[in-house]
């Protein structure tokens, strides 16, 4: 199962003892295309404080009907605050890891330590968990906002295909499985979902994603009747599909 990121934005976030706030954004690791943090606006509950929460704190299924955390309101209230001027400054993630006691997820072969999901990582035996022992540099791992990355243009090997409209996130793995691409200036208003595995280079200055395929290959991709058909797919599928 997958979720469209922008459909989840604004969903209510609940702790073990009540509502905490609303989901404002996702931060993903560019190199592995995996959501590492949820940006939560605590709004009326905590005077608008904004905090980052790891998917390791999310319990059960999540979606537009809400996100449930295994955290209390006090835990969130006392967590490091995220400010607009420096939302992911060097050292801030290490503060979060230390505060919540999250196990390391970096430096291993899989996307969540030695596992494929944050749930498996936090439920692993204690001897497989390691405390954070070094400072993490968010810039070195290219943590990026989904909101800020929406609108990036995609270039195939032989020309542009469109711009990023949304991101499809796997429910269990929290991996970005597909980019929803608006191709209105190319193939008659149809959209395409493109696997980030086809992205070979990101130009942040030009807000451009270069993908390692030809335009014709995408144009000849299989078709789906609706975006809901894509959402109902398992987390893995073809490299690109026309909707």
pLDDT digits (tens, 9 = 90+) for 113-172: 889 999 999 988 765 444 444 455 545 566 889 999 999 999 999 999 999 999 999 999
Structural domains counted in the chain: 2
Res 14: pLDDT: 95
pTM of the model: 0.89
Q: What is the CATH classification number for the domain harbouring 192?
A: 2.30.30.240
Which of 111, 144, 177 finishes a domain?
144
What value does the mean pLDDT of the chain take? Answer: 86
* pLDDT of 4 above 70: yes
Give the Cα separation of 49 and 208 in Å (integer): 32
Residues 113, 155: one domain? no
> How many other C-beta atoms are found inside a 10 Å radius of the C-beta of residue 165?
18
**Range in 45-49, 73-77, 79-83, 229-233 the model is least confident about:** 45-49
Distances (CA, A) of 212 to 66, 91, 155: 36, 34, 9
Which of 102, 125, 144 finishes a domain?
144
Q: Which residue has the tokens 């208003």?
A: 189
**Structural domain harbouring 162:** 150-242
Residues 156, 224: one domain? yes
Residues 7, 40: one domain? yes
* pLDDT of 217 above 50: yes
Residues 168, 105: one domain? no
Task: Specify whether the CB–CB gap between 132 and 152 falls below 8 A.
Answer: no
Average pLDDT score over residue span 197-211 = 92
Residues 76, 178: one domain? no
pLDDT digits (tens, 9 = 90+) for 174-187: 999 999 999 887 88
Give the Cα separation of 10 and 123 in Å (integer): 28
Residues 79, 128: one domain? yes
Give buried/exposed letters for 42-65 (b at 16+ CB in 10 A, else e): bbebbeebbbbbbbbbbeeebeee
Residues 95, 32: one domain? yes
Tokens of 151: 């609108």
Residues 20, 63: one domain? yes
Residue 19: phi and psi, rounded to 5, are -70, 140
Task: Specify whether the CB–CB gap between 239 and 194 falls below 8 A.
Answer: yes
Q: Around 73, how many Cα atoms within 13 Å sit in the side-chain half-sphere?
A: 12
């Amino acid at each position: 199962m997958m979720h469209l990121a922008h459909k989840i934005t604004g969903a209510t976030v609940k702790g073990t003892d009540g509502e905490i706030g609303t989901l404002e954004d996702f931060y993903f690791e560019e190199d592995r295309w995996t959501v590492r943090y949820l940006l939560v606006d605590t709004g009326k509950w905590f005077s608008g404080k904004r905090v980052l929460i790891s998917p390791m704190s999310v319990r059960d299924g999540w979606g537009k009907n809400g996100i449930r955390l295994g955290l209390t309101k006090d835990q969130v209230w006392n967590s490091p605050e995220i400010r607009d001027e420096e939302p992911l400054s060097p050292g801030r993630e290490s503060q979060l890891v230390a505060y919540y006691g999250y196990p390391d997820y970096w430096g291993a072969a899989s996307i969540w330590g030695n596992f494929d999901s944050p749930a498996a990582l936090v439920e692993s035996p204690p001897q497989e968990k390691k405390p954070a022992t070094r400072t993490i540099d968010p810039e070195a791992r290219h943590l990026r906002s989904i909101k800020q990355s929406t609108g990036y243009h995609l270039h195939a090997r032989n020309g542009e295909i469109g711009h990023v409209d949304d991101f499809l996130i796997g429910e269990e793995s929290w991996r970005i499985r597909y980019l929803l691409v608006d191709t209105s200036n190319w193939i008659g208003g149809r959209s395409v979902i493109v696997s980030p595995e086809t992205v070979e280079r990101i130009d942040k200055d030009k807000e451009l994603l270069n993908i390692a395929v030809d335009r014709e290959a995408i144009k000849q991709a299989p078709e789906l009747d609706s975006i809901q058909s894509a959402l109902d797919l398992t987390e893995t599928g073809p490299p690109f599909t026309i909707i």
